[in-house]
């Protein structure tokens, strides 16, 4: 698995959108309308106070993307929130956990001391396993917080990990 | 305790700001910079997809204010998020729990099926007791998620209540 991660640039957007769009259209993981237009999706994915990255393998094929941003403002801005999407062709090969771990290193470098996910759809078992592999723990669950297109109301987990320099991330 | 709640109008803003400003300047409860300017505070408090209310007693003195809005978008928009501030002169008289309960009735009327608070600063014991009196339960805690100006890093709770018609709210 040779791959590398770089900060997303404006010229990456078409590639990023090619990964986001099928995930958003499937409607099984993100709190966006399934028919979200590209402009609204871009506003959701890219924030002025956030960081966006794109991972590619050694043939420049896109592996996945993520965003990283403060979960809250002011006195809560030392905890980050993040979201990931792995390209369909790259799934099942461990990229989700690896990308999450890389984003934790990035978050540490940006000064964040914790990482929090606010809505991890409970039916996304592979995703939850990947985040747990990256050290994220379920710290709470909201019953029926997500309307899944096939499963109906599904629980959503809140996950958290404290980020620490000196090996705390690279487990 | 005679009081009433009405939807906030543009002309209410100076009164609303008079309640928000001291709370934001104190920096002990909301994830905003303590020196937040009025315009940014207004952007935080009033969202295009939200509902804002103002409660006054029978002499028209402001008792408190709240916002109500979807906690997430798309398939997560049936759960609301809310925030409250009780006017300093009105504290200690049960208004927080009462206003929270009123906001739950409002949320039900708007079609929400649950209410979620994302950052309840653990040192705000009176607030937590009020929300619990209004049926909200702590469903998770993020360690050290809030930088309190006097106490340093303080935990933040996530609180939730399912909203149900037919007496579920008026406990």
Domain ranges of chain A: 3-162
Of A27, A76, A139, the CB nearest to B75: A27
Do A121 and A156 contact (CB within 8 A), yes or no?
Answer: yes
Say whether pLDDT at B154 is over 50: yes
CB < 8 Å to B156, chain A: 76
What is the band of B166 on the pLDDT scale with cuts at 50, 70, 90? low
pLDDT digits (tens, 9 = 90+) for A115-164: 999 999 999 999 999 999 999 999 999 999 999 999 999 999 999 999 99
Q: Do A114 and B145 touch (CB under 8 A)?
A: yes
Q: Which residues pair with A143 in a beta bridge?
A: none
Interface check for A155 against chain B (CB to CB < 8 A): the answer is no
Interface check for A74 against chain B (CB to CB < 8 A): the answer is yes
Chain B closest-CA separation from residue A146 CA (Å)? 5
Do B8 and B60 contact (CB within 8 A), yes or no?
Answer: no
Residue B168 is predicted with a pLDDT of: 52
Residue A166 is predicted with a pLDDT of: 65
Q: CATH homologous superfamily of domain B3-162?
A: Gcn5-related N-acetyltransferase (GNAT) (3.40.630.30)
Helix axes A95-109, A125-133, angle to 10 degrees: 50
Which long-range contacts does A128-135 make (Cβ < 8 Å, 24+ apart)?
Answer: A128/A157, A128/A159, A130/A94, A130/A96, A130/A97, A130/A100, A131/A96, A131/A97, A131/A100, A131/A159, A133/A97, A133/A100, A134/A97, A134/A100, A134/A101, A134/A104, A134/A161, A135/A101, A135/A104, A135/A161, A135/A169, A135/A171
pLDDT digits (tens, 9 = 90+) for B36-69: 999 999 999 999 999 999 999 999 899 999 999 9
Q: Do B146 and A114 touch (CB under 8 A)?
A: no
Interface check for A72 against chain B (CB to CB < 8 A): the answer is yes
Of B32, B76, B141, the CB nearest to A74: B32
CB < 8 Å to A141, chain B: 139-140
Search chain B and give the residue with CA nearest A141: B139
CB < 8 Å to A72, chain B: 31, 118-119, 145
Sign of CA dihedral A140, A145, A147, A151: positive
**How many CB atoms neighbour CB A18 within 10 A?**
13
Interface check for A48 against chain B (CB to CB < 8 A): the answer is no
Interface check for B40 against chain A (CB to CB < 8 A): the answer is no
ipTM: 0.93
Q: Do A143 and B114 touch (CB under 8 A)?
A: yes
Say whether pLDDT at B171 is over 50: no
Of B73, B79, B147, the CB nearest to A145: B79
Say whether pLDDT at A168 is over 60: no
Of B72, B119, B149, the CB nearest to A76: B119
Residue A169 is predicted with a pLDDT of: 54
Say whether pLDDT at A110 is over 90: yes
């Amino acid at each position: 698995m040779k791959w590398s991660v770089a900060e997303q640039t404006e010229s990456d957007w078409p590639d990023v959108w090619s990964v986001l769009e099928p995930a958003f259209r499937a409607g099984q993981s993100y709190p966006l309308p399934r028919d979200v237009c590209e402009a609204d999706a871009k506003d959701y994915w890219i924030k002025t106070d956030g960081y966006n990255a794109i991972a590619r393998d050694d043939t420049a094929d896109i592996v996945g993307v993520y965003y990283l941003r403060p979960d809250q403002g002011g006195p809560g801005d030392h905890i980050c929130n993040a979201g990931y999407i792995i390209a369909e062709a790259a799934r099942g090969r461990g990229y989700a956990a690896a990308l999450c771990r890389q984003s934790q290193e990035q978050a540490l470098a940006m000064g964040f001391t914790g990482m929090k996910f606010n809505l991890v759809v409970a039916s996304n078992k592979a995703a939850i396993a990947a985040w747990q592999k990256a050290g994220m723990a379920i710290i709470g669950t909201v019953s029926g917080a997500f309307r899944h297109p096939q499963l109906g109301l599904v629980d959503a987990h809140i996950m958290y990990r404290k980020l620490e320099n000196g090996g705390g991330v690279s487990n």
